[in-house]
Amino acid sequence: MKYEVSIFCIVIIFISCSASKTFQSAPKPKTEVEQRYQMRTAQRPMRKVPKTAEDYYELAEEQYKKISEADNEKAIQFYQKAIALKPNYALAYAGLGCAYARKYMDYEFRRDPVWREKAQEAAQEAMKLEPNSAPTHKALGLVYLCDDEWTKAIAEFSQTIDLSPNDAEAYNLRGFAYQLSGKTDAAINDLQHSLSLLPENAEAHKYLGDAYSDMGLYEKVQREYRKAVELNPSGYAYAVNAPAQFPPFDIAMLQQELVENPDDSWLHYWLGEAYIKQGKPVEGIEQLKMAIQLKPDVAGEHYMLGQVYERQNRVQDAIAEFEKAVEIRYDHLEAHYKLATLYFDHGMSDVAVEHFTEFVKEYPAKVIGHTILGSAYINTRHYDRAIDEMKKAVELSPDDSNAHVHLGMAYRAKGMRTEAITEFQEALRLSPDNSRAQLELERMNK
């Protein structure tokens, strides 16, 4: 009898457990992209327990290369453990600098200068220990990217490539720097070469999509972004500000997601961007305004809305949005640059002087601040002040041909012909294809 009762209890327990599982809510089905990603990462061999600095460095590199916020945090911890075990470990310092730089640039909606400073400290320590190392130059290049010093970043990544020709990430980063500096063809060449070295390179596909976006080739943009999603769903969500299962510019899918999540400000932002990319500014503005209403403290929303207003020649509305963007995130250089353009083009050079005087106080080491302030002084006929600002730009970046062009223009405005010609010639020596320097020199020689 006891035996029968026990069997009965076991049966009841089994049925109860089965029923509880049956009536639990079913998990949300994974998208095809997530399923493929899970299949690629599921069968991994057991890793040995890390003991040495080299073990922790290997773990850090593995996490860093995954390109996601969570993995980047793990990488930072592993680099730090490697350094704790081996204080003069240059490779670990270089890797730590790269990880901190990515945290500053890619994984923070509001850039915290602490991470940029930590990136610089780690990169400088790597430079002391191994100044001719490819990882050291890569870390320095990323620090320059943090500061939007694209010419210097390109130079460091070029040295990385010279020392390590098969470093796919170095080509990614140099291509990204080229794209940011407006050299789209060079960017595409680097990114395509990176993919020839490492075909399953999600970041290269993402940056290649960015470059195609600059050219208005949106079918290619979607193709590259979709590939980036497939290769790295979690990293892609941060890298391009799009839900991993919904590649950008797919309006129907974003609309469907908004039905379920109407208060998601990022979905409204992405849908607004999608409309704008497809030439539907009215719908885009509506979505961006909804995003701002839900989450008003995101600089990118105001910046994009300002761009749309600028294209519609709604000057005051554009200025208001760009000013809001820099109020939220003062290091938003693109918004500062847009403000400068609008101020200059619409007879507000005095406002530009006031704005960028404050900017260079906050960021005295940024070339763009001095060149814009110098240009504002030229427009207001304060030529000596203009020359001073342009000289500061050249001192900060002596190999930047455009800095020499701006100094030459300040000299020309002052009537200092010989000095102006010298600067234009120096600009052409540094960059023979600098069309602005060629044009200015032709004008001086007429």
The DSSP element (H or E) to which 182 belongs, if any, is: none
In a domain, 117, yes or no: no
Residue, of 266 and 319, whose pLDDT is higher = 319
CA–CA–CA angle 160, 164, 170 (5° rounding): 50
Convert the pLDDT of each residue in 377-415 to its tens digit. 998 999 999 999 999 999 998 988 889 999 999 999 999
For residue 120, what pLDDT is reported?
94
Query: What average pLDDT does the segment 303-309 reach?
Result: 91
Q: How many CA atoms lie within 13 A of 159 on its CB side?
A: 17
Taking the C-alpha atoms of residue 172 and residue 161, their distance in angstroms, rounded to an integer, is 11
In a domain, 254, yes or no: no
The DSSP element (H or E) to which 37 belongs, if any, is: helix 32-42
pTM for this one? 0.53
Lowest pLDDT segment from 286-295, 317-326, 369-378, 436-445: 436-445
> CATH code at 359?
1.25.40.10
In a domain, 375, yes or no: yes
Taking the C-alpha atoms of residue 408 and residue 425, their distance in angstroms, rounded to an integer, is 9
Number of domains in the chain: 1
Q: For the chain, how are helix, strand and coil distributed in percent, rounded to 5?
A: 75, 0, 25
pLDDT over threshold 80, residue 340: yes
Average pLDDT of the residues of the chain: 82
CA Rg value for the chain: 26
What sign for the dihedral angle of Cα 378, 384, 390, 392?
negative
pLDDT over threshold 90, residue 59: yes
Convert the pLDDT of each residue in 197-234 to its tens digit. 999 888 999 899 888 877 767 678 778 887 887 787 65
Q: Which domain holds residue 415?
A: 347-446
Taking the C-alpha atoms of residue 407 and residue 424, their distance in angstroms, rounded to an integer, is 9
CA-wise closest residue to 163 among 190, 132, 186:
132
Contact of 397 with 152, CB cutoff 8 Å: yes
In a domain, 230, yes or no: no
Q: State the alpha helices, DSSP H only, in 107-217.
A: 113-129, 134-146, 150-163, 168-180, 184-197, 202-214
In a domain, 412, yes or no: yes
Q: Give me the amino acid identity at 111.
A: R
pLDDT over threshold 80, residue 276: yes
In a domain, 104, yes or no: no
In a domain, 232, yes or no: no
Convert the pLDDT of each residue in 89-132 to its tens digit. 999 999 999 999 999 887 654 467 788 899 999 999 999 999 99
Taking the C-alpha atoms of residue 375 and residue 410, their distance in angstroms, rounded to an integer, is 8
What sign for the dihedral angle of Cα 24, 30, 36, 41?
negative
For residue 35, what pLDDT is reported?
52
Residue, of 215 and 8, whose pLDDT is higher = 215
Question: What crossing angle do the helices spanning 90-106 and 134-146 adopt, rounded to 10°?
Answer: 20
Residues in the chain: 446
The first and second tokens of residue 187, run together, are: 């960017």
Contact of 288 with 275, CB cutoff 8 Å: no
Taking the C-alpha atoms of residue 329 and residue 108, their distance in angstroms, rounded to an integer, is 12
For residue 5, what pLDDT is reported?
40
The first and second tokens of residue 440, run together, are: 């200015």
Taking the C-alpha atoms of residue 391 and residue 422, their distance in angstroms, rounded to an integer, is 13
In a domain, 357, yes or no: yes
Contact of 202 with 68, CB cutoff 8 Å: no
For residue 274, what pLDDT is reported?
81
Taking the C-alpha atoms of residue 389 and residue 384, their distance in angstroms, rounded to an integer, is 9
